[in-house]
Amino acid sequence: MRFRSGLLATCVVPLALCAGTGSAMAGESTTFKERCAAIASVMQGRWPAPSTRIQSASFMPDGSEPQFDPFEFKPNPTPRLKAHCLVDATMAERTGIEGQHYAIRFRMRLPLDWNGRFLFQGGGGTNGNIGHALGLVPGAGLTDPALNQGYAVVSQDSGHDNATNTDPARGGPMAFGWDPEARRNYAYASLQSIAEGAKALVGGFYGRAADRSYFAGCSKGGQEGLMFAQRFPETFDGIVAGAPGMSLPRAALAQNWDVQVFGTLLTADASGQRSVFDLAKVFSEQDFALVRQAVLDACDADDGVVDGIVGRYAHCSPARVERALEKVTCGTGKSGVCVTTAKLTALTRSLAGPRGKDGAALYTDWPWDTGIGSQDWSVWKLGLAQPPMPPLNVVVGGGALHGIFSTTPRSLGAGPQEIFEQQLAFDFIKDGDLIYRVSAPFTASAWEEMSARSPDIDSFRARGAKLIVPHGVSDPVFSIHDTVSWFREVDSRYTGRAGDFVRVFPVPGMGHCGNGPATDRFPAFQAMVDWVEKGKAPDRMTATAGPDSPWPGRTRPLCSYPAYARYDGKGDKEAAESFQCVGE
């Protein structure tokens, strides 16, 4: 039921605060503006956390543009927003053990034309910014924020501020990792506090609770979604957890592994130094073109059509790809273009994942897929040559592993070169277990606090909540193999019935949360809402290739794992209608 139809029957706050929503009439809009200005006084004594206080509340008219923090992702184009009340608030202000001032900040947008639903927007990376609270959901692109669809949306900074909680001697914005409570808030603890506060704000502003509550996020936001399902299962009716960082500390080990593996391809200068900026130059565009073609030669036709997409990625074994790579490997008597054995060995070792003592796997492996070498893949693994940019595996991964995912936190340095050199010296045999160690003042290991990988989501399942997990097959940060392995564990726990409440959707060719040679625009959020509200379990979603893909406008079905999209043999090869989801 939409809020407008039930307004008069349900509103129990004073009439001035309860006047209608959704109308274009100037009088109603003015009343809404007055309600927005009065929200701080309305909420006095109503917050679940008494420390909560509103810092600002502003009426935003139709057509307004959002403002973004300096550390925040800015969508392009910037969407024009429908009329709403913008609220910034804070809670749990405190002084950390190292003397820094901390607080949990959140931002909420409350639309004039409310649809009766609440959406928690997940964070990203190391968080540290309050977020834009627009409701940009995984797979939907940047043009239709959930706010404009009528959702009340909240975002948060997870308990630290990149602008103020920074210390050059402690990894810059990674400095919060030295404070146990700040680290715990980043891992999971801030999530429920914000959800409860946001729901209270919805109730205070509209005069009633939301009909439905949802979560959507990708990357760290995906990890947060799984944290809610596992630790706070009563909070949401449905969750979209895209490319979930369910194994954040292990993935950080893999990032350090990549730095060492690809670092072996660099030539040292006269002083013996290898430059982090040279990593972007070790593979040429031609190298990656040959690698991608080998992957396609080995596995493209497995889904019934040769179309530049490895639709049946789970059937594409490393052995098959490596046999195809032999044809493009440089060797004695080889003529024409080729890729050196050293480069292919490094790439193979990277995809095989990190190893520690006695050769034990420290994370998982990655599939061979067509997104390898794409810009989205390279910016993490190797960096970019133009404009010069060091790998995110260095500037994000290095600081995170040692500053946030270790209970003996340390800074690897102030600049990418210094971080890079220390990553090269990391000993996987000696220290590959650092993410499981406990050391005062940290009473739990980084793995215990950060991991969102448990198959035990009994309570989430019992209350009928739903979970959708889209994940790019070419994701260079979190491997699709980890997500699929987790789903298999969930399916085993529930005796083959995991699909009753959770669906994983691999996206061939897609990188981290989007991009790549892929059909990376898909309605995962709407599919989750339809599942919750209409009982429509999604077996497939129609995905579209964006303008930067090799095939703008192409459509394909994304199939619920373990099914894959197979060509019917006669229809339009560019249209999703010509493909069926079939079992492996």
3-state secondary structure of 212: strand
Beta bridge partners of 566: 580
Under a CB-based contact definition with an 8 Å cutoff, are residues 465 and 457 in contact?
Answer: no
Beta bridge partners of 542: 557
Cα angle: 52, vertex 53, 57; to 5 degrees = 135
Q: Pick the catalytic residue from 237, 287, 475, 482.
A: 475
Q: Pick the catalytic residue from 193, 219, 350, 374.
A: 219
The reply to whether 219 belongs to the active site is yes
Under a CB-based contact definition with an 8 Å cutoff, are residues 160 and 186 in contact?
Answer: yes
What tokens does 81 get? 């927003």
Q: How many residues does the chain have?
A: 584
| DSSP structure string for 244-266 | --TTHHHHHHHHHHHHHHHHTTP
Q: Pick the catalytic residue from 376, 481, 512, 520.
A: 512
- Separation in Å, CA 37 to CA 17, 20, 83, 112, 420: 10, 16, 14, 14, 50
Beta bridge partners of 469: 504
Helices 248-263/341-352 angle, 10° precision: 170
Q: What are phi and psi of 360, to 5 degrees?
A: -70, 140
Report the distance separating Cα 374 and Cα 292, nearest Å. Answer: 10
| DSSP structure string for 371-427 | TTTSHHHHHHHT-BTTTTB--HHHHTHHHHHHHTS-SS-----SSHHHHHHHHHT--
DSSP annotation of 11 reads -
What tokens does 385 get? 């040559």
Report the distance separating Cα 556 and Cα 566, nearest Å. Answer: 10
- Separation in Å, CA 103 to CA 32, 51, 521, 569: 29, 10, 35, 58
- Separation in Å, CA 99 to CA 102, 346, 406, 432: 9, 44, 20, 31
Measured distance between the N- and C-terminal CA atoms of the chain, rounded to whole angstroms: 40
Under a CB-based contact definition with an 8 Å cutoff, are residues 523 and 143 in contact?
Answer: no
Report the distance separating Cα 286 and Cα 361, nearest Å. Answer: 31
The reply to whether 512 belongs to the active site is yes
The reply to whether 475 belongs to the active site is yes
Cα torsion angle, 209, 213, 218, 222, sign: positive
The burial class, CB within 10 Å (0-12 / 13-18 / 19+), for 16 is exposed
Under a CB-based contact definition with an 8 Å cutoff, are residues 449 and 405 in contact?
Answer: no
Residue closest to 329 by CA, chosen among 343, 318, 313, 350: 343
**Active site residues per annotation:** 219, 475, 512
